Structure 1
């Protein structure tokens, strides 16, 4: 698959219409193990948004957090009409929790951010100002990330894969701090696959994407839910949902092994005929195993390609299951009328 590289100034195609920010703003925040942070997060969001937009909503999605955060969210909702909340029946993962929240946004712009105050609410105006220039999506990008070296390397690797798989612009960081138009959210929630990846869906839907530079802060307190194993699961979902590249790598690997074994076989024949040197028996055995193994990889890759395509189309495992809600009208969902199907990348 070809990789498209953009300059930062070329990222996205601007719209001509500029929408007044006073129409309102939705903020969707998956929460997990952040009981000690939620009150401060709510306070800072409220202080910022009260003076920024005419109206807003804060949609917290509890991804089956083991702490007492759901009770705290219910308390906030009882005193603040802007607070809405969804609680899932089990831990479905970050992107599935986002899908649950995005289904109920009702304002023209939607901010997505983490619950740990590494994304400062005070920088939402930067995102809003940029998207009002006409972009569909604006990412908050960081000069320095306040996280472990392993996570930084993982982010870099995912970014490179995204360039290959979904044609992500080279100078754009994929981050969980972003703002998008409601039309994009409406398209995202039409995806019916069991393992959503929000950023992959965004890049399949629009090229009108830009970035603003913001500050990445230390986690306020508590321990986050994005460990190495969950990060690997997200990476696997990304690769297998939006591309059949891993299967094609298996095919190429099989071809490479078989070709190498074939060249080696020819070399052995030449040595035997030209120099009269007899090869030991184990050589032919290893050679036969290598050739057959390569052929099997080719066959498995081809079989997997067909199975993978079928799997993408027919699997309807639920993305999430809602256990409880606060101030959420479950009849008013973005995906209740229209159909949307993500195009399969080939």
Structure 2
């Protein structure tokens, strides 16, 4: 799926598009102004992830009037990170910027991110010091990343997201990863290249609404954990050993009381409680194992993570 070209522009800007068709003209103008002002050649890749607001028509219009804008349309909604991967596979720049389409990632901060790619630094993330989100969304984001970090055994900074600049080396490494479940932060982190975070301003959402409901966040977190970590399996094993130790202790205690003559018949309540406890744990354990087997089955199909249906550069008359 890697379609890079070493003769491309200096900078590629990859933007997954969902639910923000009204922002696209302003986005393209501001991205162009921020990069042209630095004397940098660029391309802007807008990836329509089956947006419900007819964003593709707007993307085609913008691509028709600007030679710097390339539009990709996925055949269905594959998810934000699959859309980012589609854009990265077509990005030709020596440096690549990833940002959201709702203008909360401020285009004027792109030069600062690119300036950070110096020396041995290959990844620069935008750190949203003053987030322009509701208290509920900030709290939910913090809990999400804390839980995800604990389950995947990685450190997450909830003030950073997808907004960042990546060297060609990093993007080539991520394009070579064959897994279907894509999650940009973990894939970039896995490469091991030096990463820094710099403070950036954060804009208010002026168009559309976030596509991540609580249910979708939970589903995404589950897929990420199952794809990038075996900690749930280790937690199941640890819990099983702990329950075995407790069960052994209870059994020894009961035997000692019986030998001492304190009890004549084992209690029905304690037996029933033990059966329910152990049975519930066994079912939960099988469920966790089943989830992993399901993800393995999903990956062994070797289907593409996304399908590009239309490309404004290739489909133009």
- Report the TM-score when normalising by structure 2: 0.86
Offset of residue 102 of structure 1: 0.4
What is the DSSP-based 3-state SS (H/G/I as helix, E as strand, rest coil) of the residue aligned with 2:126?
Answer: strand
CA deviation string 1:73-108 (max 9, x = no partner): 111111100000100111100000001100011111
**Among 150, 159, 162, the residue aligned to 1:176:** 162
Higher share of residues assigned helix: 2
* Stretch moving more, 162-171 or 113-122: 162-171
**Among 23, 46, 61, the residue aligned to 1:75:** 61
CA deviation string 1:188-242 (max 9, x = no partner): 1122222111111111112310010011221122223222222222212221111
CA deviation string 1:248-289 (max 9, x = no partner): 212222222232222222222233333513443232233244
Moved over 3 A (4+): 148-151, 157-174, 288-298, 300-313
Equivalent in the alignment of 2:269: 282
Equivalent in the alignment of 1:268: 254
C-alpha contact (below 8 Å) 1:254/1:297 kept by paired residues: no
Offset of residue 304 of structure 1: 5.4
1:190 matched to 2:176? The reply is yes
**Among 10, 20, 26, the residue aligned to 1:40:** 26
Offset of residue 121 of structure 1: 0.5
C-alpha contact (below 8 Å) 1:41/1:115 kept by paired residues: yes
C-alpha contact (below 8 Å) 2:128/2:160 kept by paired residues: no
For 2:64 and 2:114, the matched residues in 1 are separated by 28
Change (3 A) 1:86 1:206: same
Offset of residue 36 of structure 1: 1.5
C-alpha contact (below 8 Å) 1:85/1:328 kept by paired residues: no
**Among 190, 196, 201, the residue aligned to 1:210:** 196
Q: Structure 2: 5+ residue runs without aligned partners?
A: 1-8
Equivalent in the alignment of 2:3: none
What is the DSSP-based 3-state SS (H/G/I as helix, E as strand, rest coil) of the residue aligned with 1:230?
Answer: helix
What is the DSSP-based 3-state SS (H/G/I as helix, E as strand, rest coil) of the residue aligned with 1:47?
Answer: helix
Offset of residue 155 of structure 1: 3.0
For 2:151 and 2:275, the matched residues in 1 are separated by 35
* Stretch moving more, 55-64 or 261-270: 261-270
For 1:229 and 1:210, the matched residues in 2 are separated by 31
Offset of residue 246 of structure 1: 1.3
Equivalent in the alignment of 1:343: none
**Among 73, 97, 111, the residue aligned to 1:111:** 97
Offset of residue 314 of structure 1: 2.3
For 1:121 and 1:52, the matched residues in 2 are separated by 13
- Report the TM-score when normalising by structure 1: 0.79
What is the DSSP-based 3-state SS (H/G/I as helix, E as strand, rest coil) of the residue aligned with 2:21?
Answer: coil
Note the aligned Cα RMSD (angstroms).
2.8
Equivalent in the alignment of 2:82: 96
CA deviation string 1:104-134 (max 9, x = no partner): 1111100000000101101111101111343
Offset of residue 292 of structure 1: 5.2
* Stretch moving more, 154-163 or 313-322: 154-163
C-alpha contact (below 8 Å) 2:233/2:289 kept by paired residues: no
Q: Structure 1: 5+ residue runs without aligned partners?
A: 1-22, 330-346
CA deviation string 1:2-34 (max 9, x = no partner): xxxxxxxxxxxxxxxxxxxxx611000000111
Tell me how many residue pairs correspond in the alignment. Answer: 307
Change (3 A) 1:67 1:288: closer
* Stretch moving more, 109-118 or 308-317: 308-317
